[in-house]
Each structure stands twice: as C-alpha cells, then as structure tokens.
C-alpha cells in the first residue's frame, strides 16, 4: 500500500470505528421468549431454545418488542430469609408480575405485582414454635435487568418490603432493601425453566433492630398466557 493511500485509509478506519462505537455502547440485557413455531424450519429443537439445529427446529428466540407492551409472567420456587438473630424462614413462593423492553439502549424492565409466601418453616425448628409467616408490602416492586459482568445478567429488584412474623415467641420485623439475583436461562441440562438465583452476591435486606438478612434460593419464571419459556439475552 502506498503512503498516500495509507494516509487516506487511516482516517477512514477511524470514522468507521467511531460510527460503530454507539452500537456497542447500546448493548443491554433484554427479555426474550422461546416461541413455538408450527413448521420445523427454525433454529431450536427444545422449548428452552437451548439446542440449536438451524433450519430443523420448531422453536425460535424472540425478543419482546421495544413498545413498552408488557408480558405477564409468574414465578415459583423456594426462598430462605436468614438473619443472625431470628435464624431462618424457609418459604415456598408464588409470584406474579410483568416484563417488557423499552429500547435497545435500555435494559429490560419488570415489576413484581404479587409476592406470596406459604408453608413457611423455621430453621432450626425451635426458632419459632408458633405460626411463622412472611408477607410482602409496598407492591408492585420495580426491577430492571443489569449486567455489570458480561454474560452474567441480574435483576435489580428495588423497594422490597417483607415482614417476618412469629406468634410464639411473639416477634415481628420488617426487612427492606434492594436485591440483585442472577438470571440463569433455562436449558435442557438444568430443567428447561429460567430462574432467578439468590445467593450471597445478591445483596442483603435490613431491619434497624436486628440488622441484615440474606435471601437464598431459586425463583423460577415462565410466561402466563402460553407457559412459554422466558430468557434474558444481550442485546
């Protein structure tokens, strides 16, 4: 390449790189569904959209549209709230909410409208010998997808208010705060249903009297209308 041609080519590369930068900066995690198609001409062969066989599958990953139209989802699982003073409360959970995407440059959003806890048991059993309940308030809780570490999407849930109550011995404490569980997409190998994984990295809730509490466990989620699998992908 001649020096004259090289001198002209370098600025052109700079312009191309500059134009490409906004597209990269716009990348954000978004909500997808795994949609069943009647014809076997699509990318995936399983209902979790995790096994690819291009042109021979009956399922396709579809990102929810950038229209703020909301898709109803339900979640279910087992979560444990642990506090050093009160020990642990392990509950089955049954939640309902909505998910949606607004724009390519923004992450996916969601809200928890119903958060029910039932069959709560204390651990150890002597921590509460009466009736143990965990109830939610301040709903809906707003949340949005984040991805501080590439490839590890999380759901940042704000405005959480949960009250732990025991009838014997009598105790009642409200815990508040923000949690960021990891989002694990469902695959054939892990059962096919996506879930929010609460662990030590998800953060803590707090109470001014007894201090902080952690939440651990898995909360699975699916679409309501067609029981479709829900995924989080970037972009």
**How many Cα atoms are found within 13 Å in the side-chain-facing hemisphere of 74?**
9
Q: Say what the pTM is.
A: 0.87
Asked if the structure places residue 1 within a domain, the reply is no
**Domain assignment of residue 85, given as a range:** 65-233
Asked if the structure places residue 15 within a domain, the reply is no
Instruction: Supply angle C-alpha 209, 210, 212, rounded to 5.
Output: 115
Question: Tens of pLDDT along the chain (235 residues)?
Answer: 555 444 444 443 443 344 444 444 458 999 999 999 999 999 999 999 999 999 999 999 999 999 989 999 999 999 999 999 999 999 999 999 999 999 999 999 999 999 999 999 999 999 999 999 999 999 999 999 999 999 999 999 999 999 999 999 999 999 999 999 999 999 988 989 999 999 999 999 999 999 999 999 999 999 998 899 999 999 9
Buried b / exposed e across 132-154, counting CB within 10 Å, b at 16+? bbbebeebebebbbbbeeeeebb
Domain total for the chain?
Answer: 1
Asked if the structure places residue 170 within a domain, the reply is yes
Asked if the structure places residue 28 within a domain, the reply is no
Domain CATH for 130 = 2.40.160
Asked if the structure places residue 224 within a domain, the reply is yes
Asked if the structure places residue 210 within a domain, the reply is yes
Asked if the structure places residue 84 within a domain, the reply is yes
Asked if the structure places residue 33 within a domain, the reply is no
């Amino acid at each position: 390449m001649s020096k004259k041609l090289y001198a002209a080519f370098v600025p052109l590369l700079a312009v191309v790189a500059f134009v490409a930068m906004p597209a990269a900066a716009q990348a954000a995690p978004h909500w997808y569904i795994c949609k069943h198609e009647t014809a076997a001409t699509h990318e995936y062969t399983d209902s979790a959209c995790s096994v690819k066989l291009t042109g021979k599958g009956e399922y396709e990953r579809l990102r929810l549209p950038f229209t703020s139209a909301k898709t109803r989802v339900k979640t279910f699982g087992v979560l444990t709230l642990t506090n050093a003073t009160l020990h642990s409360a392990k509950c089955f959970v049954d939640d309902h909410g909505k998910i949606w995407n607004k724009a390519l440059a923004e992450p996916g959003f969601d809200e928890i409208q119903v958060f029910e806890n039932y069959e709560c048991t204390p651990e150890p059993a002597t921590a509460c010998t009466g009736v143990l309940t965990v109830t939610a308030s301040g709903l809906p809780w707003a949340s949005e997808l984040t991805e501080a570490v590439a490839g590890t999407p999380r759901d940042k849930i704000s405005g959480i208010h949960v009250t732990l109550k025991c009838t014997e011995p009598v105790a009642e404490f409200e815990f508040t705060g923000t949690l960021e569980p990891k989002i694990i997409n469902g695959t054939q190998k892990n059962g096919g249903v996506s879930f929010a994984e609460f662990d030590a990295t998800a953060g803590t809730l707090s109470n001014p009297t007894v201090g902080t509490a952690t939440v651990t466990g898995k909360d699975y989620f699916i679409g309501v209308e067609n029981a479709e699998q829900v995924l989080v992908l970037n972009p």
